[in-house]
Amino acid sequence: MTFLRRLACVLLLLVSVGPAFAVQPDEVLSNPALEARARTLSKELRCMVCQNQSIDDSDAPLARDLRILVRERLAKGDSDRQVLDFLVARYGEFVLLRPTFSARNALLWSLPFIVLVVGGIAAFMAFRGRSQTDVQQLTPEEEARLRAILAANGETGAETPPKGGKPG
């Protein structure tokens, strides 16, 4: 019997640890259709305090204010688009968890890749330029002088002994 009690306690603990909803009972609209629209909109709006949560999931006071504002606008008869447009006009596009596609956003998202490509090309050009050093051949006079110096030192030029040691 103790095993069943432990299992029941563990199951009860797991069920109670589930996700906590931030929407308070006093925020809920009496009209179920409007409440469903409000919940859908709340999941699309970013909490400006938490910044990685929707206002539907956030317990921050600002998120609560935004949830109430969404419900008030819906109760006045605004469409979902009008509510979103109102909040974007008031807080900027950052309030949307999924920003709308625009040329400015496309530039913002593609800029890191553009910088990476330009940096890669610049690095390639820099390294390519270093590997192409100008190697000039000795003139016949320089070769004759080098052979004379090596012959005077008793070397053939095939192998140069390390400093302070004998040739291997």
Q: What is the pLDDT of residues 103-151, one digit of tens each?
A: 777 887 888 999 999 999 999 888 876 655 666 788 999 999 999 999 8
Q: Distance (Å, rounded) from C-alpha 70 to C-alpha 44?
A: 11
Distances (CA, A) of 106 to 12, 22, 37, 103: 48, 33, 29, 5
pTM of the model: 0.52
pLDDT at site 103:
78
Segment 60-108, tens digit of pLDDT: 888 888 988 999 998 899 899 999 999 999 988 888 888 777 777 788 7
C-beta of residue 58 within 8 angstroms of C-beta of residue 65: no
The domain made up of 19-95 has a fold known as: Helicase, Ruva Protein; domain 3 (1.10.8)
